[in-house]
Amino acid sequence: MADDIVIRADGLGKKYVIGHAAERERYVALRDVMARGARAAWRKTADVLRGRALIGGDTTEEFWALRDVSFEVKRGEVLGIIGRNGAGKSTLLKVLSRITEPSEGRVTIRGRVASLLEVGTGFHPELTGRENIYLNGAVLGMTRAEIRRKFDEIVAFAEVEKFLDTPVKRYSSGMYVRLAFAVAAHLEPEILVVDEVLAVGDAEFQKKCINKMDGIRRSGRTVLFVTHHLPTVLSLTSAAMVLERGRVAYRGSVSDALSKYLHQGEDQKTMIGRQIEISAALEGADFAAGAAFRVRFDVMLRGPLAEPRLGIGINDASGSRISTLFSETARVLPAVAAGNALHFQIVTEPVRFAPGILSFKLALAERGEDIETYEDTLQLVVPEYSPFVQPARSRPRGSVLVTSRIEFHEAVH
């Protein structure tokens, strides 16, 4: 194994056996096993007496949650694992964090792994905030000395100073989650495995969490994390892997993984509302070569609408607003009668949005009042491209790619 590789999976597979009875029961009861055994024995005896062939017991079905999964993770890499529900993301994290063992294949891991598959694992409602910090810290693999050292930091991060000696069952759900995340955020393993835990708390706290994760990333630790929250994948990860029905469908750059995930061959997305239908696409001849490109919206509005106005907010991966378009700044839209529809296009001036996800907030207004609003239901992936003479060493940060010229004013000696 090369020196800079910290995780290597070879042909990893995880099989679950689903019995027919197990589908109906949430757990196995001895009573049922005995009853089933007795029934099977009786059936077999009866079959033997009648001189028929033996019928097998309960039919079972194999289900591979993971199959043939091979990949490598380098030290300091932040790998986002994306995939739809049931694609095997959580199973993969469980195997990597030793909670369940693989059915085939092997994983080699170098370094201390801490896994964060849930915030607040082991929290006990009867215990106080202070007690739970120690309990949860120990569960996540911190030593007591480590927790003691970071205690004040954790408390400050969670903003629960006043309630340290209150049992957490009296906490509001916001406080509970903040405390739980604060403990987790102060883990310092060599490899961190995280599952969907960023999508907690209010917007302000989320921002704090993302900053913390960003800090972890920059400290050079290896992070694997699973998420549905696509913007975080972009803002935090350096590479991504797409899982599809238990197999690796793609492993590589973040934006390519995202377009794979969003099934975006034609990079066009459609959104249908009650009175609005809209699709968005990127337009530009030499787009891949780095030329600026336009975003085109095809819109259909259904009547009745008197004085319709359309607002489109363009957000970047981290949820920050890049720009807002208003239909009336380009043209005043006519009224639409009931049963009629109005078709039109909005095309932006050329812009170079940074590779990543653009998500749109839509607001359809009538006489100045919003009648339909949608957030993040329409998204576009801007694939990896580079307008630069020589690609930058580190991934450019920000939501717009700004190119520049360098002019020499003095002779080079």
Instruction: Indicate the angle between helix axes 173-185 and 129-139, nearest 10 degrees.
Output: 40
CB 117, min distance to other proteins, A: 5
Given the complex with other proteins, which of 122 and 398 has the nearer CB atom?
122
Instruction: Pick the binder of other proteins from 89, 92, 97, 356 (CB under 8 A).
Output: 97
Residues 103-122 touching other proteins, rule: CB under 8 A, are: 103-113, 115, 117-118, 121-122
Residues 13-52 touching other proteins, rule: CB under 8 A, are: 16, 27-31, 33
Q: Residue 140 interacts with other proteins (CB under 8 A)?
A: yes
Given the complex with other proteins, which of 98 and 228 has the nearer CB atom?
98
Determine the Cα angle at 28 with ends 24 and 30, to 5°: 130
User: Helices in 116-247 by DSSP H: which ranges?
Assistant: 129-139, 144-158, 173-185, 203-218, 230-236
Q: Residue 144 interacts with other proteins (CB under 8 A)?
A: yes
Q: Residue 143 interacts with other proteins (CB under 8 A)?
A: yes
CB 32, min distance to other proteins, A: 8
Q: Residue 102 interacts with other proteins (CB under 8 A)?
A: yes
Distance set, CA 318 to CA 194, 199, 232 (Å): 19, 13, 7
Residues binding other proteins: number (CB under 8 A): 45
CB 128 within 8 A of CB 114: no
Given the complex with other proteins, which of 28 and 54 has the nearer CB atom?
28
Q: Residue 134 interacts with other proteins (CB under 8 A)?
A: yes
Q: Residue 217 interacts with other proteins (CB under 8 A)?
A: no
CB 222, min distance to other proteins, A: 12
Pick the piece of the chain touching other proteins (CB under 8 A) from 78-86, 139-147, 319-327, 349-357.
139-147
CB 249, min distance to other proteins, A: 23
Residues 333-362 touching other proteins, rule: CB under 8 A, are: none
Instruction: Pick the binder of other proteins from 18, 99, 332, 392 (CB under 8 A).
Output: 99
β-pairing verdict for 268-272 and 276-283? antiparallel
Q: Residue 164 interacts with other proteins (CB under 8 A)?
A: no
Rg over alpha carbons for the chain, rounded to the nearest Å, is 27
How far is residue 232's CA from residue 228's CA, in Å, rounded to a whole number? 9
How would you classify residue 339: left for phi > 0, otherwise alpha for psi between -120 and 50, otherwise beta?
A: left
Given the complex with other proteins, which of 147 and 254 has the nearer CB atom?
147
Given the complex with other proteins, which of 111 and 391 has the nearer CB atom?
111
CB 15 within 8 A of CB 62: yes
Paired tokens of 391: 């690609």
Cβ neighbour number for residue 203 with a 10 Å cutoff = 8
Distance set, CA 231 to CA 41, 73, 236, 359 (Å): 57, 22, 9, 9
Q: Nearest Cα to 345, choosing from 316, 371, 312?
A: 312
Given the complex with other proteins, which of 75 and 302 has the nearer CB atom?
75
Contact residues toward other proteins (CB under 8 A) are 1, 16, 27-31, 33, 94-113, 115, 117-118, 121-122, 124, 126-127, 131, 134-135, 138-141, 143-144
